[in-house]
Structure 1
Amino acid sequence: MKQTETKAPSILAIDASLTFSGIAITTFSKEIIFLYTIKTSSENHIEQRILFVYKTLLKIIEEHNIKLLLVENNYTGGSKEVNWVIGIIYLLAAEKKIPIKSYAPASIKKAVTGNGRANKKEIKLAIQKIYGDLKTNEHVRDALGLVHCYCIKKSEVKTA
């Protein structure tokens, strides 16, 4: 994980998964600071994988001036492993006293593409229009989608 410490207040968006968690750190004006994917192997025991995700997220939080955490909510079910990672995110938010915002998958898709039922290809194209042609994976793009959703929702509140 190559990075430098961030001085500006920043947002940490996490596309939660036990296998591949997409990480995007941006300024509050959506300037990209750091993109990363936390990868764990199914060959390792669950508790080792959870600990690795926790320690990696903790390190990222401690090396950046994180003022807000963003996560996709998983209220409609999803895998128990995703819920474990979301639990880690909420635990870290509480430990570090960082506010957290969560958004429904359809809200994120609608903010990014204009369509709450957009597919991965549509999301990829929309993220490329917003952030440029990034050489990254769908997990990091989903994390960037969270940032974009937050910024859209924040601007809607200001204009209301």
Structure 2
Amino acid sequence: MARVIGIDPGIAETGWGIVELGDDGFRCVAHGCIRTRQDQPKEMRLKTIYDSLLKIISQYEPDIMAIEKIFFNANVKTAMSVGQSRGVCMLAAAVSGLKTYEYNSSAVKNIITGRGRASKKEVARCVCEILHMDKIPKPYDVTDALAIALAHLLKQQ
């Protein structure tokens, strides 16, 4: 049984979701969002993400991390913050002995919905359908993280 932690990195909110594939299909093990305080210095926010992720990995024991690749847009400051968050997430994976796979958002959307330009709402709906979840988790960072984990498992089949 493969267990994957999907990560949607961000400095304010880092979504995470753990999905496993067993004999009876896909199952959501756990999900959540690591939130940092805006009034904290950036290094403390990154430490919060790192420490929280280490605890999550220790508690749920995933085999693999799948993380969203950075999408560089016009907002360089946002791209830098997301990149820093990705870095501490990947460090937590390395320290925990997890192999990391990276996926861009359009590839994940295509695997999950069949459309590379699907909206976050469409992705969330498809994730919930695949995982037999009654309610869409909020924020969308969580369903994005679950989508990344699912995309990895689906791509490996």
User: Does the TM-score normalized on the shorter chain lie above 0.5?
Assistant: yes
Give 1:119's aligned amino acid.
Answer: S
> How far apart, in 2, do the equivalents of 1:51 and 1:94 lie?
15
Moved over 2 A (4+): 75-78, 131-135
Letter paired with 1:42: Q
Does 1:127 find its partner at 2:117? no
Identity %: 25
In structure 1, runs of 5+ residues without a counterpart are 1-7, 156-160
Match of 1:5 in 2: none
Q: Does 1:21 align with 2:22?
A: no
The correspondence for 2:70, drawn from 68, 74, 86, is 74
Q: Deviations over 1:61-109 (max 9, x none)?
A: 1122221001011154562111011101221222222111111111000
- Count of residue pairs brought into register by the alignment: 148
Corresponding residue of 1:109: 109
Mapped to 2, the partners of 1:76 and 1:152 lie a distance apart of 26
Q: TM-score when scaled to structure 1?
A: 0.84
Q: Alpha carbons of 1:115 and 1:9: their partners in 2 closer, same or farther (altered >3 Å)? A: closer
RMSD in angstroms over aligned alpha carbons?
1.7
Who is 1:147 aligned against?
A: 149
Structure possessing the higher relative contact order (Cα contacts under 8 Å, 6 or more residues apart): 2
Correspondence for 1:33: 29
Q: CA deviation at 1:146?
A: 0.6
Tell me if structure 2 keeps the 8 A contact 1:113–1:122: yes
Tell me the secondary structure at the aligned position of residue 15 of structure 2: strand
Kindly indicate whether residue 53 of structure 2 is the aligned counterpart of residue 57 of structure 1: yes
Letter in 2 for 1:67: D
- The normalised TM-score by structure 2 is 0.86
* 2:19 aligned partner, one-letter code: T
